[in-house]
Structure 1
Amino acid sequence: MRRRSALIAVTAALFAGGAGLGTAQASSPTAVGAAPSACRPANHTAKITASPAHSGHRHYRVTLTAAPGYAPCRLAGSPADARFHHHGSPRGVTAGRYGSQRAAVTFGPGRPVHFDIRVPGRPGGVRADEATFTLRTPDGVIPGESSARGPLVVGAGTVIGPVRPGA
């Protein structure tokens, strides 16, 4: 019975780790039995924190971290398809991009990355508590949607900066 349980556990682990095979392979090749990529949405966490305002803008930092056991991967540019929500309701704000979209960074356990959400400091805006987005690699996008939680205010003119190394 123990042998069967061990076989089931190994099979489940292979399915969980191998589910992303064929996705973003150029940036994070995966072999059967290898650790799953930290870039897959289910394999990292993200948090939004307020940063100091300057140049007439509010800034929020989104920090991504991966737990030990995941394989490092490469990210590049600003996340795509960013959407904002408040208590699960869409806020109707579309974000653009700013900054260089070419620089690649390594992300994985012990190597957090971050990006900036920049919002014009004019009056108005809407409260949000979650951002969803698609991470990009030097060769395309990571399938699936990542999310980050934390309080922020967004509005017209919101833009997202490129992923950079560090928390």
Structure 2
Amino acid sequence: MRTNRKIAVALVATVLAGAAGGGVAQASPTTSGSAAPSACRPANHTAEITEAPSSAGHRHYRVTLTAPSGYESCELAGSPTDVRFSNQGSDSGITAGRYGGQGAVVTFGPGHPMHFDIQVPNNGSGTAADEASFTLQAPGGEIPGTSFAEGGLNVAAGTLIGPVQSGA
């Protein structure tokens, strides 16, 4: 299933690149009114989970989102919501809260990756996961659809999601 999402994103990027080269306009709504589709839409970006440095009492993981060329930049804000974790397609039963200031706005798109933090209590227990699903937030509300990030992590009750930040 995860491989199919990667293939779909690659196919969409290829089609967009071919259509742009052929002079065909793209008719998808974006945040700026441009003809290019928004990088914030779940099908138009990829996300990867990597381990990050630990802090006192917590393990941290970084979720980095990138968008290929051919998409329009957009604005994101706050922590993603509706975060769920799964391992080999089975839901972990762990949901996540939010932490940190939710008002900062980040520009995301081709050449402008962004990331957010997953903070997990280091209490000796945990559940293995290889995927996180989440809903991105724009300054005016949520981005429709569910985004997915892949990568190994351990989650536990009390897991929190930090706000989006610029950079990889």
TM-score bin, normalised by smaller chain: 0.7 to 0.9
Q: Which residue of 1 aligns with 2:32?
A: 29
Confirm whether residue 96 of structure 1 aligns to residue 97 of structure 2: yes
Q: Which residue of 1 aligns with 2:160?
A: 159
Q: Which residue of 1 aligns with 2:129?
A: 128
Distance 1:102 1:92 in 2: 29
Distance 1:72 1:163 in 2: 15
Letter of the aligned partner of 2:83 in structure 1? A
Across the aligned residues of Structure 1 and Structure 2, the Cα RMSD in angstroms comes to 1.5
CA drift of 1:30 comes to 2.7
Distance 2:27 2:114 in 1: 22
Q: Which has the larger radius of gyration?
A: 1
SS of aligned partner of 2:52: strand
Distance 1:140 1:158 in 2: 23
SS of aligned partner of 1:143: coil
Letter of the aligned partner of 1:136 in structure 2? Q
Q: Which residue of 1 aligns with 2:83?
A: 82
TM-score normalised to the size of structure 2?
Answer: 0.83
Letter of the aligned partner of 1:149 in structure 2? E
Distance 1:17 1:121, change over 3 A: farther
Stretches of structure 1 lacking an aligned partner (at least 5 in a row): 1-8
CA drift of 1:87 comes to 0.2
SS of aligned partner of 2:95: coil
Letter of the aligned partner of 1:125 in structure 2? G
Letter of the aligned partner of 1:55 in structure 2? A
CA drift of 1:17 comes to 4.6
Distance 2:116 2:90 in 1: 23
SS of aligned partner of 1:42: helix
Stretches of structure 2 lacking an aligned partner (at least 5 in a row): 1-18
Q: Which residue of 2 aligns with 1:146?
A: 147
CA drift of 1:105 comes to 0.4
Distance 1:159 1:55 in 2: 15
| 1:30–1:36 contact (8 Å) kept in structure 2 | no
| 1:131–1:148 contact (8 Å) kept in structure 2 | yes
CA drift of 1:55 comes to 1.2
Q: Which residue of 2 aligns with 1:52?
A: 53
CA drift of 1:71 comes to 0.3
| 1:76–1:136 contact (8 Å) kept in structure 2 | yes
Q: Give runs of ≥4 in structure 1 deviating > 6 Å.
A: none
Distance 2:33 2:57 in 1: 44
What are the Cα deviations for residues 96-154 of structure 1, in whole angstroms up to 9, with x where unaligned? 00000000000000000000000000111100000000000000010000000000000
Q: Which residue of 1 aligns with 2:62?
A: 61
Distance 2:147 2:84 in 1: 11
Distance 2:27 2:102 in 1: 29
